């Protein structure tokens, strides 16, 4: 049996892709198609990919040409795959002429003619009109947003609003094309979508107001601190055909996503324990220590430490106990312990207590270790009883990381995708429910 292998992103699958797959199939008896992973594409700077890897795999499958579909996830994988699958022919489009001649050492390399006049880049250009985004709340994080959005295709930051008009003017003066507005009405008239980066307690009203005005919403984490309010605004968004997404940058980090996928595939066996920690020693005169502005460790850091637990173990836990050290009305340290049917999980957050800040995920075959600051994941390890089996993974973290969530937000708008696989609505709602439990002091003990 003659085996053929080919690779591609297959974004916005079109007739050119189909023709290439058909030509590759005709070269042999069995066609293996490698689809690039989201993390691999992002690592190569492809922040304009419209469809996520699951959508792209499904599209390739529907062509009927692929006998087997694999995921391309790292540089050098082509050689590994050719040897692993005993491949006879490597096929690729003619626009790569000469680039893969080095593979002739392992199999025959064939460059296939491209279909003229069509490409994913062309289709994106034809189908995409820039989403005009306005920023509500012009503080420290928001000032990073325009530059981060500048590397993502299909988005244009055009407006800024803050109750402190001077703050919006400062942001505007630093970013060409961003207009500062003193009235929200005028601000909304200028945009298609909003990025909300105001203090926590104002998120709910700004989200509702923006959705009522017909605007897509990307809201900083924690989106809200009440589970009922989270359900309400997500339902409102979908009822109006709008995208609402929580801006949890760790959830959209390429390395973190790869870590989650690999663990779900069983590389460390069945997960029985997760420990996630995050802490900072901050100036206690800041907003983070003001109870009137929902300060405290859980509200500031909780959504990050809850993320790996809810993504890997789900939202159906049996109970959650919270233990906090309080100071002047805010928690300077909180530990949460989840009990699942076959696992326990814990998180620690601190604004006045310093801890290791690592992520450890324990399984029946081994464990995953992500060192601090794990929420800015660019490196992780899988460790086993036999240390010779240990594996280390390195990734590139670009800029401040906001570009990854912006790219997913724009892709969700263009594809009418109401829930991102990187942070499901149900997970976002459950994060808010945990914070609501803290507010209501349920299963809570002060230490």
Q: Please state the domain extents for the chain.
A: 3-123, 128-249, 254-396
Domain 3-123 of CATH type 2.130.10.30: no
Tell me what the mean pLDDT of segment 372-379 comes to: 90
> pLDDT tens, 297-345?
999 999 999 999 999 999 999 999 999 999 999 999 999 999 999 999 9
Radius of gyration of the chain (CA): 24
Tell me what the mean pLDDT of segment 178-195 comes to: 97
Determine the pLDDT at residue 120: 52
| Helix (H/G/I), strand (E/B), else coil: 14 | coil
Determine the pLDDT at residue 119: 54
Determine the pLDDT at residue 44: 52
Distance CA 200, CA 148 (A): 22
Question: If pLDDT is split at 50, 70 and 90, which confidence band does 36 have?
Answer: confident
Question: If pLDDT is split at 50, 70 and 90, which confidence band does 127 have?
Answer: low
Residue 37, pLDDT > 90, answer no
Question: If pLDDT is split at 50, 70 and 90, which confidence band does 62 have?
Answer: very high
Determine the pLDDT at residue 401: 86
Determine the pLDDT at residue 286: 81
Per 3-state DSSP, what percentage of the chain is helix, strand, and coil (rounded to 5)?
A: 40, 25, 35
Q: What is the CATH number of domain 254-396?
A: 3.30.360.10
Question: Among 30-34, 278-282, 324-328, which is the least confidently predicted range?
Answer: 278-282
Determine the pLDDT at residue 45: 53
Give the list of residues 6+ apart from residue 183 with CB closer than 8 angstroms, or none: none
Residue 126, pLDDT > 60, answer no
Give the list of residues 6+ apart from residue 52 with CB closer than 8 angstroms, or none: 38, 411, 421
Tell me what the mean pLDDT of segment 223-251 comes to: 97
pTM across the whole model: 0.80
Q: Answer whether the bond into residue 442 is a cis peptide, omega within 30°.
A: no
Whole-number mean pLDDT of the chain?
91
Question: If pLDDT is split at 50, 70 and 90, which confidence band does 153 have?
Answer: confident
Residue 48, pLDDT > 70, answer no
Tell me what the mean pLDDT of segment 79-107 comes to: 93
Question: If pLDDT is split at 50, 70 and 90, which confidence band does 9 have?
Answer: confident
Strand runs (DSSP E) across 150-201, as ranges?
Answer: 155-161, 179-181, 193-196
Q: Do domains 3-123 and 128-249 have the same CATH topology?
A: yes
Determine the pLDDT at residue 117: 58
Determine the pLDDT at residue 151: 87
Distance CA 97, CA 92 (A): 8
- The CATH number of 128-249, from 3.40.50.720, 3.50.50.60, 3.40.50.2020, 1.10.760.10, is 3.40.50.720
> Quick one: what percent of the chain has pLDDT higher than 90?
74
DSSP state letters, 382-445 = EEESSGGG-EEEE----TTSHHHHHHHHHHHHHHT-SSBTTB-HHHHHHHHHHHHHHHTTTTEE
Distance CA 122, CA 112 (A): 20
Determine the pLDDT at residue 322: 98
Instruction: Please tell me the total number of residues recorded for the chain in this structure.
Output: 447
> pLDDT tens, 202-236?
999 999 999 999 999 999 999 999 999 999 999 99
Question: If pLDDT is split at 50, 70 and 90, which confidence band does 118 have?
Answer: low
Question: If pLDDT is split at 50, 70 and 90, which confidence band does 288 have?
Answer: confident
């Amino acid at each position: 049996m003659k085996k053929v292998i080919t690779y591609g992103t297959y974004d916005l699958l079109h007739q050119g892709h189909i023709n290439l797959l058909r030509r590759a199939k005709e070269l042999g008896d069995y066609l293996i198609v490698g689809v690039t992973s989201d993390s691999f594409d992002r690592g190569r700077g492809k922040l304009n990919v419209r469809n996520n890897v699951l959508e792209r795999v499904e599209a390739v499958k529907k062509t009927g040409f692929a006998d087997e579909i694999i995921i391309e996830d790292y540089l050098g994988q082509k050689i590994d795959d050719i040897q692993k699958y005993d491949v006879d022919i490597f096929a690729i489009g003619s626009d790569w002429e000469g680039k893969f001649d080095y593979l002739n050492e392992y199999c025959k390399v064939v460059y296939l003619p491209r279909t003229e006049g069509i490409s994913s880049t062309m289709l994106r250009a034809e189908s995409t009109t820039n989403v005009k985004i306005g920023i509500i709340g012009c503080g420290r994080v928001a000032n990073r947003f325009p530059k981060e959005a500048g590397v993502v295709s299909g988005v244009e930051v055009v407006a800024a609003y803050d109750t402190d008009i001077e703050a919006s003017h400062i942001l505007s003066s630093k970013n060409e094309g961003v207009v500062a507005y003193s009235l929200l009405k005028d601000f909304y008239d200028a945009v298609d979508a909003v990025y909300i980066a105001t203090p926590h307690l104002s998120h709910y009203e700004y989200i509702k107001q923006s959705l009522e005005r017909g605007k897509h919403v990307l809201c900083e984490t924690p989106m809200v601190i009440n589970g009922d309010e989270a359900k309400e605004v997500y339902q409102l968004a979908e009822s109006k055909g709008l995208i609402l997404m929580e801006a949890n940058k760790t959830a959209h980090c390429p390395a973190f996503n790869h870590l989650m996928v690999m663990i779900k595939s069983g590389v460390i066996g069945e997960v029985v324990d997760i420990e996630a920690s995050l802490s900072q020693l901050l100036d206690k005169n800041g907003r983070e220590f003001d109870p009137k502005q929902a300060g405290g460790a859980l509200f500031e850091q909780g959504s990050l430490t809850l993320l790996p637990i809810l993504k890997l173990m789900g939202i159906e836990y049996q109970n959650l106990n919270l233990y906090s050290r309080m100071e002047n009305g805010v928690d300077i340290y909180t530990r949460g312990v989840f009990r699942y049917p076959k696992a326990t999980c814990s998180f620690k957050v601190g604004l006045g207590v310093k801890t290791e800040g690592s992520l450890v995920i324990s399984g029946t075959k081994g464990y995953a270790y992500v060192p601090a600051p794990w929420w800015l994941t660019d490196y992780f390890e899988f460790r086993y009883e036999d240390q010779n089996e240990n594996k280390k993974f390195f990734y590139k973290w670009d800029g401040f990381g906001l570009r990854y969530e912006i790219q997913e937000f724009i892709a969700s708008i263009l594809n009418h995708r109401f829930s991102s696989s990187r942070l499901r609505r149900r997970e976002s709602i459950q994060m808010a429910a945990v914070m609501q439990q803290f507010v209501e002091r349920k299963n809570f003990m002060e230490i």
